Amino acid sequence: MRAEGERRMAKTATDEATEEAAPRVPGRFRGRAPDRDFDPAAVREALLPLLRAIEAVPDDVNEPLETETMEPLLRRHPRPGGGFFSRSQLIAGFRAFAEDAGFRFDEARFRRRVQRRPVRTRSGVTPLTVLTKPFPCPGKCIFCPNDVRMPKSYLSDEPGAQRAANNRFDPYLQTWNRLAAFDATGHPVDKVELIVLGGTWSFYPEAYQVWFVKRCLEAMTDFGVGHDERDAFDPGTPDFEEIDADVRGDRFGRNPYNARVTAFLKERQEGELLLGHEAADWAALDVAQRANETAGARCVGLVLETRPDHVDEEEVVRLRRLGATKVQLGVQSLDEAVLAANRRGHGLEETRRAFDRLRRAGFKLHVHWMANLLGATPESDRADFPKLFEDPAYRPDELKLYPCSLIETAELMGPWKRGEWRPYEDEELLEVVADAMPRVPRYCRVTRVIRDISSDDIVVGNKRTNFRQIAEDEIARRGQHLVEIRAREIRGAAFENASLEAKDTGYETATGREVFLEFVTPEDRIVGFLRLSLPKEASFVEELGQNALVRELHVYGGSVRLGHAPDGAAQHRGLGARLLDRAADLARDAGYEALSVISAIGTRDYYRKQGFADGALYQHRPLRD
């Protein structure tokens, strides 16, 4: 927990932070101007229609608008000169125009409507996304954008990508500035899930990986005590805004990304792909990890993303040494022909092996599956999706369900122009998604249904950002309901501790038996859960032997700062300890000698207090005297 004095120091350092905290990249300030300089009258033509659109959203409840509703409106009415209006600018505009605009709402109601919802931190953990720098990717996937200003597969006008570019992909600046923005908008930052995105992580040199994670951790630790090293940023870091970004998928035919990015990096970095300081060794990372264990802003989860064919045993151990707890894996399809048509460069055997290795090492598996790829049809997609859960080789813990959209820089432009690929009609896509979602079992969380990209980037394909809601409405209309985790999360709702019910769901995988332990309310809202692996053979990670393994422990809470639990919040009520005890009992009864946990850097201390002893990469609790 960050001491109050420390919090005050951090606050002082971020007093000037706006919603998009100003990065300190020399010569490239693109953060928002302070609101006191904002003149609504100067942008009335753009702003007034947005205010009216916000007011016109039908909603009987006096609640803040959902992000899924608010963001498309902001995008449709951008700020002249670039970017989007901030919440405080909307309120300033409402106040300035109230006299003559004839609004139905008074200011208090309008304020409530545009207030930022605490969705990001509803699970009690603040997700913080950072991007690695543009770098060659071994993939040649034809649906993947070739925006050479970004790490492969990302688009420069995605909000998170813009933030990363503003910070020239520097991990320290990205992390520190994002924490400052969260802190300034009232989000707790003491427990952070660090999500590293960009291309294929496993293809970046090891020294860069170590350095990148180390700098993120150092930024968190520094932020927690109000220490600020942002001025140490190397001004020689290339600015990818200066790269020749004119890439069109249909003109180039084949992926031009790697050649263009490699040439730019070498030209700006004396023939090297990495700058001299973009490297660190394991000993330095170890120091940064230990410092972050009990820091004011601590890393309670580290997510890295990679391709199935890069997950060998050595890579799995490396991911763990970095402190990763979850891996995002691009599965995309379970149909060999579709994988080949889209030039994924790997088949199902690699996908199965990746699941196998990652699960045996205790990682949470967050997979991406795509509908509407080249060679797929609505019928084949409806047949493909169920395999994710029917086949014991897969059965992921989390899922992103992305329909393919055509981006101008993707090679898929060629097949589209030749009439070999077309986007599904709205109804076809709805059929696929509404058919898929009710099949997701209660142990899996559907984190996203649509990739959040600007409609300006989509040549053809779904542009409805509220597609998840549309699909959920259709599912309800069919009389079905969802049991996947996100649909059942307790979020901010109150509950009676005494009414909670323990529920265990067992299922087989290729590596053994999994048990998903939950605490649920009488209405089946999920308050906490634990993923327990009972492996059928010893892991290739020597330290684990054949121990039972806690792959995830999650207890929900509202926007709660450590040590400040309001009534009704699920955290800090000992639910985590009760779940661990249940897991230990189950494992002991099944004949296991010890229970291991894939702890994050910032949860090591918690597990020590729960009777776990530190190992090299995991923590362990004996199950017998």
For position 330 contacting ligand SF4 by CB under 6 A, the verdict is yes
The residue within the footprint of ligand SF4, chosen from 13, 25, 114, 141 (CB under 6 A), is 141
The residue within the footprint of ligand SF4, chosen from 124, 139, 378, 576 (CB under 6 A), is 139
For position 406 contacting ligand SF4 by CB under 6 A, the verdict is no
φ, ψ for residue 114 (rounded to 5)?
Answer: -95, 0
- Choices 138-146, 276-284, 519-527, 565-573 (CB under 6 A): range interacting with ligand SF4: 138-146
Which residue number, 92 or 404, has a Cβ lying nearer to ligand SF4?
404
Which residue number, 355 or 556, has a Cβ lying nearer to ligand SF4?
355
Q: Where are the beta strands (DSSP E) in 54-164?
A: 126-131
Which residue number, 204 or 529, has a Cβ lying nearer to ligand SF4?
204
Which residue number, 223 or 402, has a Cβ lying nearer to ligand SF4?
402
For position 395 contacting ligand SF4 by CB under 6 A, the verdict is no
For position 153 contacting ligand SF4 by CB under 6 A, the verdict is yes
Q: Give Cβ neighbours of residue 121 (< 8 Å, ≥ 6 apart).
A: 187, 188, 558, 559
Taking the C-alpha atoms of residue 396 and residue 507, their distance in angstroms, rounded to an integer, is 12
Which residue number, 197 or 322, has a Cβ lying nearer to ligand SF4?
197
> Within 13 Å, how many C-alpha atoms sit on residue 360's CB side?
24
Give the shortest CB-330-to-ligand SF4 separation in angstroms: 5
Give the shortest CB-418-to-ligand SF4 separation in angstroms: 21
| Residue whose Cβ sits closest to ligand SF4 | 139
For position 150 contacting ligand SF4 by CB under 6 A, the verdict is no
For position 142 contacting ligand SF4 by CB under 6 A, the verdict is no
For position 136 contacting ligand SF4 by CB under 6 A, the verdict is no
| Tokens read off for 9 | 């120091």
Give the shortest CB-312-to-ligand SF4 separation in angstroms: 16
> Which one, of 18, 95, 19, lies nearest residue 51 by Cα?
95
For position 124 contacting ligand SF4 by CB under 6 A, the verdict is no
Q: What is the DSSP string of 45-72?
A: HHHHHHHHHHHHS--SS--PPPHHHHHH
Give the shortest CB-72-to-ligand SF4 separation in angstroms: 25
Taking the C-alpha atoms of residue 591 and residue 560, their distance in angstroms, rounded to an integer, is 38
Taking the C-alpha atoms of residue 340 and residue 334, their distance in angstroms, rounded to an integer, is 11
Which residue number, 307 or 551, has a Cβ lying nearer to ligand SF4?
307
Give the shortest CB-139-to-ligand SF4 separation in angstroms: 3
Which residue number, 307 or 451, has a Cβ lying nearer to ligand SF4?
307
Q: What are the Cα distances from residue 382, in Å, to 360, 378, 400, 445?
A: 29, 6, 16, 19
Which residue number, 345 or 545, has a Cβ lying nearer to ligand SF4?
345
Give the shortest CB-299-to-ligand SF4 separation in angstroms: 24
For position 333 contacting ligand SF4 by CB under 6 A, the verdict is no
Q: What share of the chain is helix, strand, coil (3-state, %, to 5)?
A: 40, 15, 45
Which residue number, 152 or 360, has a Cβ lying nearer to ligand SF4?
152
Give the shortest CB-407-to-ligand SF4 separation in angstroms: 11
Residues 297-326 that bind ligand SF4 (CB under 6 A): 307
Residues 469-508 that bind ligand SF4 (CB under 6 A): none
Which residue number, 199 or 535, has a Cβ lying nearer to ligand SF4?
199
φ, ψ for residue 488 (rounded to 5)?
Answer: -110, 0
The residue within the footprint of ligand SF4, chosen from 24, 113, 152, 215 (CB under 6 A), is 152
Give the shortest CB-151-to-ligand SF4 separation in angstroms: 8
Which residue number, 349 or 614, has a Cβ lying nearer to ligand SF4?
349
Give the shortest CB-345-to-ligand SF4 separation in angstroms: 7
Give the shortest CB-547-to-ligand SF4 separation in angstroms: 33
φ, ψ for residue 82 (rounded to 5)?
Answer: 115, 155
| Tokens read off for 42 | 């100067």
Give the shortest CB-200-to-ligand SF4 separation in angstroms: 5
Which residue number, 139 or 226, has a Cβ lying nearer to ligand SF4?
139
**Cα 36 vs. chain centroid, distance in angstroms?**
33
CB of 602 within 8 A of CB of 292? yes
> Within 13 Å, how many C-alpha atoms sit on residue 337's CB side?
6
Residues 196-225 that bind ligand SF4 (CB under 6 A): 199-200
Which residue number, 89 or 306, has a Cβ lying nearer to ligand SF4?
306
φ, ψ for residue 298 (rounded to 5)?
Answer: -115, 155
Which residue number, 138 or 615, has a Cβ lying nearer to ligand SF4?
138
Instruction: Give the neighbor-by-neighbor strand order of the sheet with 512-520.
Output: 501-509, 512-520, 526-535, 548-555, 594-597, 619-622, 613-614
Number of residues that bind ligand SF4 (CB under 6 A): 10
Torsion sign across C-alpha atoms 614, 616, 617, 622 = negative
Give the shortest CB-307-to-ligand SF4 separation in angstroms: 5
Q: Is 253 left (phi over 0), alpha (psi -120 to 50) or beta?
A: left
Taking the C-alpha atoms of residue 413 and residue 250, their distance in angstroms, rounded to an integer, is 5
3-state secondary structure of 439: helix
For position 137 contacting ligand SF4 by CB under 6 A, the verdict is yes
Count CB neighbours of 554 within 10 A: 24
Q: Is 524 left (phi over 0), alpha (psi -120 to 50) or beta?
A: left
Q: What are the Cα distances from residue 115, in Å, to 110, 127, 316, 368?
A: 9, 19, 42, 31
The residue within the footprint of ligand SF4, chosen from 73, 144, 216, 526 (CB under 6 A), is 144
- Choices 135-143, 259-267, 400-408, 469-477 (CB under 6 A): range interacting with ligand SF4: 135-143
Q: Which residues bind ligand SF4 (CB under 6 A)?
A: 137, 139, 141, 144, 152-153, 199-200, 307, 330
